[in-house]
Amino acid sequence: MSHTYARIAELPAHEGQPVTVRAWVTHVRSSGKVAFAVLRDGTGVAQAVFVRAEVGPEVWERFKELTLETSVAITGAVRVDARAPGGVELGVTALEIIGASPIDYPIQPKEHGVDFLLDNRHFWLRSPRQRAIFAIRSEIEQAIHDFFYDRGFLRVDTPILTAAIGERSGLFSTAYFDEGTAYLAQTGQLYGEAAAAAFGKIYTFGPTFRAEKSKTRRHLTEFWMIEPEVAWNDSADNMRLQEDFVAFIVLRCVERRRKELEELGRDMAKLERITTPFHRLDYGDAVALVQQKGSDTKWGDDLGAEDEALIVEDYDKPVFVMNYPKEAKAFYMKENPDDPRTVLCDDLLAPEGYGEMIGGSQREDDYDKLLHRIREEGLDPSAYDWYLDLRKYGTFVHSGFGLGLERTVAWICGLPHIREVIAFPRMMNRLRP
């Protein structure tokens, strides 16, 4: 017998015709005369209806073997019915069991603790809520590629095994043949700068690694970062690119993923308000603001998560905090000519207390100043010889930023913890599954 296979989302187009759906069973019930199996295939849910008098004894008996997460191929005629789960039904004529699922399937229709769910992440991903999250994540990733593609950026893939430190946060290292120690990349930026001198406008999109001993709701040890780098952009251009970029991503989700966002209970009005321009706050004013609100952060400190929450609480859009003191930031940021105690940089803070979503800066393009900062940070200049060369041979004004993908997805989805927006999260205490 030949089959027309269809995915559940495609079923309405086959109304009245026989098709075969390959899926997993999420729910069964039987009245003795009629039995139902709810199916899930990643595109939607549909109900298979078994009428005892029509399917024959063999199929009727086989129905009884269906358990939660049995994989099946079910053939039947498509009926569109608003009352059915998923809005479509299959009037079953044939049932093939592809893979049985023992009744001790770990995730049952009841409340489970998050640690249990994370231990069973390989199964947790099958839940409808997880599908909504990953449809949104995937939409965001596609929006990012589209944004840069349409603006003439080249995507450059930078190495993960590196020989030099990029950021101040913790490093993962591994022995690397006769070359000494290799570090897992904390950032692709330094390579992105070399590529920007070659190609003008580039972006990276890849995993980055930080051996951070922080167990917060916004830290992973492995996360994905998008890092554009643009020749001839100064810090003001850089911030305009960031706000255009973030507003573009949010609008894309509002336009194309409303259904999934609503499934997650997201307040859409909050997302619809994310239009350019975003608010801009000088670091000094930000410190004064949080001090007024009771923080004991002093000029010179980096802003902590609590300060960030205090800053954004008065705004309904992301907020830029600009031009931090040198000592609070990485070595590669350009000295601010108007106040050399500070650097030309920005952190973009997400609304609703989601914290820093982007870190960006204009890069130090003066050879001597950069060398001085590398030494000041206690880094070995010989590890940065090639990076310094970019300032020696045709130095150029350039800026870029890094957007943390998981923080962005968590904010757009309105989820409290970033561990749920990456398929297999890596955290201090979690390396499995």
> In the complex with ligand 4AD, which residue's Cβ is closer, 119 or 356?
356
401 binds ligand 4AD, rule: CB under 6 A = yes
**Using the rule CB under 6 A, which residue among 331, 406, 410, 415 binds ligand 4AD?**
406
Of 360, 364, 420, 425, which one interacts with ligand 4AD (CB under 6 A)? 360
**Most distant CA pair in the chain: distance in Å?**
87
Binding site for Mg ion (CB under 5 A): 359
Segment interacting with ligand 4AD (CB under 6 A) among 64-72, 255-263, 358-366, 377-385: 358-366
- Each residue 272-311 as x (binds ligand 4AD by CB under 6 A) or -, in order, gives ----------------------------------------
Residue 410 per-residue DSSP state: H
Nearest partner of 300 among 334, 261, 339, judged by Cα: 339
Q: Residue 174 and residue 153: Cα distance in Å, rounded?
A: 33
Of the candidate spans 74-82, 84-92, 284-292, 394-402, the one that interacts with ligand 4AD by CB under 6 A turns out to be: 394-402
Distance of alpha carbon 328 from alpha carbon 258, whole angstroms: 39
Q: Does 425 bind ligand 4AD (CB under 6 A)?
A: no
Closest CA to 21 of 4, 36, 2, 33: 4
Contact yes or no for 214/132 (Cβ under 8 A): no
Does 346 bind ligand 4AD (CB under 6 A)? Our answer is: no
Residue type, 47: Q
Q: Smaller CB distance to ligand 4AD: residue 88 or 412?
A: 412
Other CB atoms within 10 A of residue 259 CB: 9
Please pick, from the candidates 121, 137, 326, 407, the single residue that binds ligand 4AD as defined by CB under 6 A: 407
Q: Please, which residue, 14 or 217, has the CB nearer to ligand 4AD?
A: 217
* Residues ≥6 apart with Cβ < 8 Å to 365: 334, 391, 395, 396, 397, 398
Residue 194-213 contact track with ligand 4AD, rule CB under 6 A, x = bound: ----------------x-x-
Q: Which is nearer to Mg ion, 44 or 355 (CB)?
A: 355
Among 359, 374, 415, 422, indicate the residue that binds ligand 4AD (CB under 6 A): 359
318 contributes a contact to ligand 4AD by CB under 6 A:
no
Minimum gap (Å) between residue 419 Cβ and ligand 4AD: 10
Q: In angstroms, rounded to a whole number, what is the distance separating the alpha carbons of residues 249 and 275?
A: 11
Partner whose binding site includes residue 360, from Mg ion, ligand 4AD, none (CB under 5 to 8 Å by kind): ligand 4AD
Site for ligand 4AD in 126-185 (CB under 6 A): 167
Residues 224-283 that bind ligand 4AD (CB under 6 A): 225, 227
Given 10, 141, 356, 365, the residue binding ligand 4AD (CB under 6 A): 356
Give the position of tokens 């700068």. Answer: 193
Q: DSSP label at 394?
A: S
Select from 123, 56, 64 the least CA-distant residue to 94: 56
| Of the residues 402, 410, 419, 422, which one makes contact with ligand 4AD according to CB under 6 A | 402
- Residue 109: CB minimum distance to ligand 4AD, A: 32
Q: Residue 223: helix, strand or coil by DSSP?
A: strand
183 forms bridges with which residues in the sheet?
A: 162, 173
- Which of 44, 76, 325, 400 lies at the binding interface for ligand 4AD (CB under 6 A)? 400
Alpha helices (runs of H) in 257-323, residue ranges in sequence order? 258-263, 268-272, 283-292, 305-312
CB-wise, 95 or 231, nearer to ligand 4AD? 231
Candidate segments 13-21, 83-91, 241-249, 400-408, binder of ligand 4AD by CB under 6 A: 400-408
Q: What is the DSSP letter of 265?
A: T
What length is written for the chain?
433
d(CA 155, CA 169): 25
Distance CA 154, CA 277 (A): 26
**Chain centroid to CA 77: how far?**
39
* Cα dihedral across residues 418, 423, 428, 430: positive or negative: positive
Indicate which of Mg ion, ligand 4AD, none lies near residue 351 (CB less than 5 to 8 Å, by partner kind). none
Contacts with ligand 4AD, residue ranges (CB under 6 A): 167, 187, 189, 210, 212, 219-220, 223, 225, 227, 356-361, 400-402, 404, 406-407
